[in-house]
Amino acid sequence: MNTFPIHIMQRKPMRPLHNLSDYVVEELPSDLELMRSGTAGQYRDLVQKAENLAQDKGDVIAVSRGGQILQLLDCTILESAIRTHGGVPGPLLSDLTNRCAALGKSIPTLTYEGLVAINPLATDPRTFCTGEIGTAELFFYQSHANIEYILARCVQEMREILANVYGEPARDIDLSITTRIRGNLIPMVQTINRMMKQLFSKLPKYAFDAVRPYFDVNSIRGFHGPSGKFSAGVFAVDALLYGDHPDMNLFLQKKMAELAYFPGTTASGDCFSGQDDMRSSFTLAQKKETLFSMQNKVESVELYDVMRTLFREMHMFRSQHFAIAQRFIPDALMQGAGTGGETDLQRYLKHARDVYERAMNAQDRKILDACLFSPLC
């Protein structure tokens, strides 16, 4: 149902926790299918099986951080499965999860980083479901992974543009900057929007409904669940594009307070954005070194116009996210309860969309003023 960038294809099909990892990959989805259909034993059977698998794991070792987060993913998938079906993870599994999280410098819960940035989707994927629903679940993760890959390229492109403008020595904006935004950056955001449309049209709602409970808030440990809200790539793009505007800056500050939920730095080794990207992008926004403020260095209707197009594409991205949420989790939108870790999801998504709508309006005024009060038009 999807294709991968080469970096995702090269994720190693590791089983870092041996028999526990084997079970999560090969047997757990089928066991959960039986539990959902009511033909299997109670959750106590799964709790005991997980305890048996977690024993004798005295030394938790994984050479790469990717391996460290992958073994944490295996543990937290098991914990989420137990919790979703009414149980409480046993002490051996809980202790193993804690040790894996400490080794990977992560939080001991199921994360967006684990499911999307580390999960070996093309070679040895971790899913909760099997059959047709499992295929749709995998497509859901694949779509997010592909979007994250393009977002990371957007971040790199924006950094290079800003380095040219605000670096040492600083230089004037020339035609090449406008050409680069039009020819490189905007097409990448348009690619992301096409991916969002594909996700909206191809993901069956009944399949998402089957998977969604596993993403809910971790009520036992007190953590949010995995969510696209915790995309470091989206954060970095927002910050580098418009992060110095008061509306966006306040929005970003709130997300920085949840930094632990975002992917770690270069965790997957395949060009995904991480926490360091968030910190550095936020710093540039605080210094007002963004693409939005870059326009103050030049009077160019052409630049103003191409920036409006970029804001329009970002507004489309946010609008599609809101539309997907309306389709797949309308109860969360109505109740403000959220899913996948988002509290008051409706307010979050609407605010993100509306910020870019205001940005487009500001660009319209900038273009109009330039045409009225200068000979540029």
Helical residues (DSSP H) of the chain, grouped into ranges: 6-9, 19-26, 28-37, 43-54, 65-84, 91-103, 112, 131-166, 175-180, 186-202, 205-211, 232-242, 246-256, 275-286, 291-294, 301-328, 330-335, 345-373
- pLDDT tens digits along 72-128: 999 999 999 999 999 999 999 999 999 999 999 999 999 999 999 999 999 999 999
- pLDDT, the chain, mean: 87
Whole-angstrom CA distances from 181 to 188, 305, 354 are 10, 11, 22
pLDDT of residue 267: 44
Show the domain range for 239. Answer: 132-373
Indicate the residue type of 98.
N
| CA dist., res. 288 & res. 87, Å (int) | 49
Give the end of a domain, one of 64, 99, 130.
Answer: 130
Query: Residue 8's pLDDT band (boundaries 50, 70, 90)?
Result: low
Asked if the model's pLDDT at residue 269 lies above 60, the reply is: no
Q: State phi, psi for 15 to the nearest 5 degrees.
A: -125, 75
Asked if the model's pLDDT at residue 266 lies above 80, the reply is: no
pTM comes to 0.90
248 & 311 share domain? yes
- pLDDT tens digits along 298-310: 778 888 899 999 9
- The mean per-residue pLDDT over the stretch 135-164 comes to 94
- The mean per-residue pLDDT over the stretch 345-365 comes to 80
Give the end of a domain, one of 130, 161, 182.
Answer: 130
Give the end of a domain, one of 130, 155, 185.
Answer: 130
Say which residue, 367 or 98, is predicted with more confidence. 98
136 & 102 share domain? no
- pLDDT tens digits along 306-335: 999 999 999 999 888 888 887 887 665 445
145 & 109 share domain? no
DSSP reduced 3-state for 223: strand
Query: Residue 270's pLDDT band (boundaries 50, 70, 90)?
Result: low
| CA dist., res. 236 & res. 240, Å (int) | 6
- The mean per-residue pLDDT over the stretch 20-37 comes to 95
Q: Evaluate whether residue 1 is within a structural domain.
A: no
* Domains: count for the chain: 2
DSSP reduced 3-state for 218: strand
Q: Evaluate whether residue 125 is within a structural domain.
A: yes
Residue 78: half-sphere exposure toward Cβ, Cα within 13 Å: 35
110 & 145 share domain? no
Structure tokens at 139: 């497509």
Whole-angstrom CA distances from 331 to 41, 214, 261, 334, 365 are 30, 16, 24, 5, 38
171 & 309 share domain? yes
141 & 34 share domain? no
Q: How far is CA 177 from the centre of its chain?
A: 28
- The mean per-residue pLDDT over the stretch 336-355 comes to 63
List, in sequence order, every residue forming a beta bridge with 63; answer none if it has no partner.
none
pLDDT of residue 113: 95
Peptide bond before residue 29 is cis, with ω within 30 degrees of 0: no
Query: Residue 265's pLDDT band (boundaries 50, 70, 90)?
Result: low
303 & 222 share domain? yes
Residue (of 313, 3, 302, 5) closest to 153 by Cα position: 5
162 & 89 share domain? no
